[in-house]
Structure 1
Amino acid sequence: MKRICLNRNQVFRGNLILVNKNHPIRKEGGITRIGFPESEEEMEWRAGEALLELLRAVDREEELALVSGFRRKTEQRKLYAESLRENGEEFTAKFVAMPGCSEHETGLAIDLGKKGGQIDLICPDFPYSGICQEFRKRAPEFGFVERYPEGKEAVTGIGREPWHFRYVGAPHAALMTKWKLVLEEYVRLLRDCGPEHLKVCLDGKRYEIYYQKCQGPETEVCVSEEQKVQVSGDNEAGFLITAWCSL
């Protein structure tokens, strides 16, 4: 077995951190970002590279617009205030996260729109047809999920947003899509597994996924020598461990 030492600050970083009105961003800055050709938008570098691969895979990326990626807290505050003024409290509560509570501030989220005419910066058109649906169907292959689907408003606290995609990585995007879970539900599932780790086989790999509560300044976990490991915080009290090896 090999031992991995996790720092408490890692609780607030990673591709599976849960960010919403009840789980605000705790660690600002420190995000390595990349940009995109012919766009001013940026994303966290792993998410950005995955998005570029996804756009190339759908093979008609010229029909899609990157509307909004990474935002600083000051930009989110400005957007929130402008929406309150122009659209009112009910609309804003439904579609615009409060400053410090937006996934865009993590660099892991992207809003997309279909090109053609003027694009609404808050609610861009991204229908369930054509190239937009092709993007949506292939997104889990590259680690992305439609973050705010219809029917989950009471769980996420956000209205249905067909245009908003969140990077969670593999195999989580595929599992969330297959089981029809939003991130709040998926993180809860992993926490509730306790010592019974979630074990799945997918795409030629055997995955073991589990939750480890933070035990202080440093937390030690043990994994098999043959396993590769990725660790994400949950943005609250612990770590989500993803270990895998080839079948």
Structure 2
Amino acid sequence: MVSIIGHHLINKEEGYQILLYLDPQLIEVADEFDESFQNKEDLRQVVNSYVKNRLPDLKVTVIRVVLGSLVIASIPLLPGTEIKDLDSSQELNLKTEVKEVFENTPQEIEKDLLLVNKNNSLADNYTPLNLIVPEVPFIFKGFHEKKLMAAKAATALEELFAAAKANNIELYAVSGYRSYQRQEVIFKSQVEKHGLLQANQISARPGESEHQTGLAMDVTSPQVKFKLVQEFGVTKEGQWLKEHAAGFGFIIRYPEGKDAVTGYQYEPWHIRYVGQEIAQKIASQDLTLEEYLA
């Protein structure tokens, strides 16, 4: 079964170039994507359905389907073609033997450096592998999907919280993994409360939330009454977190003064796992994940 799990947009003067990422579990059948591939028609239908439903009204020059580091299909279009104009006459050119398609191509979909933002979106069926509940204090009891994290990130979070406790820093976890469907509900609620413009600054659209990766966790403390507020950044807990998170592989994903880069307001409570080496580089150079990957 052909499954697209995310996309990346590259904005060129003549129009957008779109990279569509296939489920990495298909990697073992990559060699079968040739001119005689029996699911060629299925692939074309999935591509058309995805871009029409998820990316309407874009001016597009080319769509490429990516599996790992291989572009296995492409649809070249006339400059300025709208997605809604696609139909069965658009033919797939299969198995293009290239390792790199564009400069600054985003990281592979299962990597710790997976970039998710307003230009790099995950599909509605994307679910990270090996989700577990980290053994850290949460602000609520009982099970909920938002207690989940990818196993590597969960282990790092446990180590971070243990170090905080040893330093008399009281941290609580609030929200980790969120499914695409749950983010739909959250974003709709924010739009109803604040209007679309403001909602887009404080909440991610479905598919554009880092929480869907399982690599992010929102944290808080009693000092701010367990709320997710910017005041957390000036508490002793918030200051400790900013200073020490990188040592455990986390970054403050939406730092102060970087709204124009990340697309979101300052969130001192939102930490994201990228691994210790990369986290320390990002923190020491005062970068965002976008700037580091540029």
Please state whether the residue corresponding to 1:112 is helix, strand or coil: strand
Q: Label 1:90 to 1:114 Cα distance change in 2 as closer, same or farther (>3 A).
A: farther
> Higher helix fraction: Structure 1 or Structure 2?
2
Matching residue of 1:170? 276
Q: Is the 8 A contact 2:132 2:154 kept in 1?
A: yes
Matching residue of 2:187? 80
Q: Is the 8 A contact 2:249 2:274 kept in 1?
A: yes
In structure 2, what is the Cα distance between the partners aligned to 1:167 and 1:30? 14
In structure 1, what is the Cα distance between the partners aligned to 2:277 and 2:201? 29
Please state whether the residue corresponding to 1:63 is helix, strand or coil: coil
* Aligned residues: CA RMSD: 2.1
1:170 to partner: Cα distance: 2.3
Please state whether the residue corresponding to 1:140 is helix, strand or coil: helix
Show CA shifts across 1:215-234 (max 9, x none): xxxxxxxxxxxxxxxxxxxx
Matching residue of 2:132? 34
- Is 1:55 the counterpart of 2:150? The answer is no
| TM-score of the pair, normalised by structure 1 | 0.67
- Is 1:17 the counterpart of 2:114? The answer is yes
1:117 to partner: Cα distance: 7.0
When structure 1 is superposed on structure 2, of 111-120 and 42-51 the one drifting more is 111-120
Q: Is the 8 A contact 1:12 1:25 kept in 2?
A: no
Counterpart residue type for residue 179 of structure 1: Q
Show CA shifts across 1:179-223 (max 9, x none): 1110111111xxxxxxxxxxxxxxxxxxxxxxxxxxxxxxxxxxx
What is the percent sequence identity of the aligned residues? 35
Please state whether the residue corresponding to 2:233 is helix, strand or coil: coil
1:71 to partner: Cα distance: 0.3
Q: Is the 8 A contact 1:113 1:125 kept in 2?
A: no
Show CA shifts across 1:128-176 (max 9, x none): 2312211221100000000111121111111111111111002000000
Instruction: Give the counterpart of 1:147 among 243, 247, 253.
Output: 253
Instruction: Give the counterpart of 2:198 among 58, 66, 91.
Output: 91
Q: Is the 8 A contact 1:113 1:124 kept in 2?
A: no
1:33 to partner: Cα distance: 1.1
- Is 1:66 the counterpart of 2:145? The answer is no
Instruction: Give the counterpart of 2:209 among 97, 102, 119.
Output: 102
Matching residue of 1:138? 244
- Is 1:187 the counterpart of 2:293? The answer is yes
In structure 2, what is the Cα distance between the partners aligned to 1:172 and 1:30? 21
Greater relative contact order (Cα 8 A, min sep 6): structure 1 or 2?
1
Counterpart residue type for residue 80 of structure 1: F
In structure 1, what is the Cα distance between the partners aligned to 2:225 and 2:180? 26
In structure 2, what is the Cα distance between the partners aligned to 1:116 and 1:19? 30
When structure 1 is superposed on structure 2, of 85-94 and 69-78 the one drifting more is 85-94
Show CA shifts across 1:36-61 (max 9, x none): 34544111110110010000011267
Please state whether the residue corresponding to 2:149 is helix, strand or coil: strand
Q: Label 1:99 to 1:33 Cα distance change in 2 as closer, same or farther (>3 A).
A: same
Q: Could you list the runs of 4 or more consecutive aligned residues of structure 1 that deviate by over 6 angstroms after TM superposition?
A: none
Please state whether the residue corresponding to 1:163 is helix, strand or coil: strand
**Unmatched runs of 5 consecutive residues or more in structure 2:** 1-26, 28-66, 70-107
Q: Label 1:83 to 1:61 Cα distance change in 2 as closer, same or farther (>3 A).
A: farther
In structure 2, what is the Cα distance between the partners aligned to 1:102 and 1:129? 26
Q: Is the 8 A contact 2:223 2:235 kept in 1?
A: no
Please state whether the residue corresponding to 2:232 is helix, strand or coil: coil
1:118 to partner: Cα distance: 5.2
- Answer with 1 or 2: which has the greater Rg: 2
Please state whether the residue corresponding to 2:256 is helix, strand or coil: coil
Please state whether the residue corresponding to 1:71 is helix, strand or coil: coil
In structure 2, what is the Cα distance between the partners aligned to 1:25 and 1:125? 31
Number of residue pairs matched by the alignment: 181
Matching residue of 2:38? none
